[in-house]
Structure 1
Amino acid sequence: MTKAMIIVNPSSGAEESENYTEQLKEQLKAVASEFVIKKTKKSGDAKEFAEEAALNDYEAVFVLGGDGTVSEAVNGLMLHESKLPLGIIPLGTVNNVARAVGIPMNPEKAIDSLEQLTVQQIDVGKLNDRFFISSTSVGPIPESVQEVDVDMKTKFGVFAYLIEGIKALKNDETYTFELDIDGEKWTAEYSLLLIAMSNFVGGVG
């Protein structure tokens, strides 16, 4: 590996992302000669950065952030059918993807584990024009969870999602889902649709 991109979400990791970025660079110096650091400032940045990596001479992408940042990076790579290895240093609240592939939840241990670089192949799902590697869901509960702000996550951790999810349980609205799965089509009424790509959902396996 000669050139790697490191995508950092500064709002993740209790604002320690800067230190973890430096630790990651030190760990990878033995296998990479050039690093490009990209810091997200708004939604969509990680996707844009990953696209840049896919279209240029990068050999790997590393994400320091949570599931949202990882998801964006995956979408940026998959949009161009890129097969660049994606490394994850979990700094988020839940870190479903990292849990599913066996990455340590402690960021420092996750970085240390890169001393023995291994690549795993995982399934990638696609719903309309969006790719996902953990899970995707539709309904009042996931919609409310998306509205959890950074301050709440910092203060309550994973319980911030639980709080908003419980509030959404009062909404008994149902949706009509028309699904086409492997050529088999069916229609049903549900208040929640969840499609999981791993044995971890909401940080629980």
Structure 2
Amino acid sequence: MRKFILVYNPISGDASFKFKLDNVIEAFQKKDCIIIPLRVSNEQESDTFIMLVKEIVVDGIIVSGGDGTIHSVINNMLRHEVDLPLGIIPSGTSNDFAAYLQLDKNIDTCVETITKGQRKRIDVGRVNDEYFFNVASAGLMTSVAHNADSMLKNTLGKIAYYLKGLGELPNFKALKMRIITEQQILEEDIFLFLIMNSGTVGGFPNLVPHAKIDDGKLDVLIVKKCNLPELMSLFISFLKGIHCNSRYVTCLQAETIYIECAEEVESDLDGELGPKLPLSVTILPRKISVFCS
């Protein structure tokens, strides 16, 4: 029988996964798989599963939660050089990466995907001494994920982020940043930059249509300074998927990126608080293995 550690966050999304845990274990047992559940709700607890991996031989790690929970697990895996396939059961407020991989929230479908055993090796980004699997960003909207009320997020999901972001627009100022890649140097007053592994960020699919998670490249989207009406119009363009046509948007690909800013600016990694600028970003090609359909 195969054996998996199931790392789950009891407060992710609508916090309902913990009530489905027995059904999940039963579904895996019907597929001749033993599940070892591990409850994780903070960073200290997330370290515990590494200790468990070192004590027990398992065939993979399954994560139930949102992008933040996956981010924590992947960082722990890479820091401790754990190379086990990762299964995902989307159950968070933000499930961008699962959406990009077209992973269903339905438990039975997730179990089928994981137990079938088909895998894909995907790239991972490294920022200073941390890792991200989907997106690194700074600027407008970056603080939204950290400041939006948790009850509001659980009730309204992505809408909570957008409402919070729209409220910040009138007071937000552009930041003078220097962005260096292996091919060019950009010095711009910008509102936001996104360094993406997949093309799905913040619930927006195909922000960069050609982005692939196994191409050894990072896709960078930069939103340059503009006035408030233009910024509001640009936000609508993002919703419609026509933002790449705007003169205020720059898209590029790179393997290494260095970003600095004279002001103190915090970054965001997969919806979690990241290091302050400057950032040294590199791509780690096909670094981890993920169960997918």
Provide the TM-score with structure 2 as the length reference.
0.61
Give 1:178 shift: 4.0
Q: Equivalent residue for 1:164?
A: 164
Change (3 A) 1:45 1:180: farther
Change (3 A) 1:128 1:2: same
Give 1:105 shift: 3.1
**Matches of 1:45 and 1:202 in 2, distance apart?**
26
Taking every aligned residue pair, what percent have the same amino acid on both sides? 26
**2:204 pairs with 1:204:** yes
SS in 1 for 2:166: helix
**2:121 pairs with 1:154:** no
**Matches of 1:185 and 1:129 in 2, distance apart?**
23
* Letter of the 1:173 counterpart: K
Moved more, 107-116 or 56-65: 107-116
Change (3 A) 1:81 1:180: farther
Give 1:177 shift: 3.4
Give 1:17 shift: 1.1
Q: Which sections of structure 1, spanning at least 5 residues, go unmatched?
A: none
Q: Equivalent residue for 2:142?
A: 142
**Matches of 1:75 and 1:186 in 2, distance apart?**
30
**2:67 pairs with 1:32:** no
- Tell whether the 8 Å contact from 2:125 to 2:132 is kept in structure 1 after alignment: yes
Give 1:121 shift: 1.2
Give 1:50 shift: 4.6
The answer to which structure has the higher strand fraction is: 2
Give 1:155 shift: 1.8
Q: Which has the larger Rg?
A: 2
Give the count of matched residue pairs: 203
Q: Equivalent residue for 1:133?
A: 133
Provide the TM-score with structure 1 as the length reference.
0.85
- Tell whether the 8 Å contact from 1:27 to 1:114 is kept in structure 2 after alignment: no
User: 1:158-179 CA deviation, whole Å, 9 max, x = no partner?
Assistant: 1011111111212332334344
**Matches of 1:123 and 1:113 in 2, distance apart?**
20
The answer to which structure has the higher helix fraction is: 1
Q: Tell me: higher relative CO, structure 1 or 2? Use CA pairs within 8 A at least 6 residues apart.
A: 2
Q: Equivalent residue for 1:98?
A: 98
Moved more, 11-20 or 66-75: 11-20
SS in 2 for 1:122: strand
SS in 1 for 2:82: coil
SS in 1 for 2:84: coil
* Letter of the 1:97 counterpart: F
Q: Equivalent residue for 1:78?
A: 78
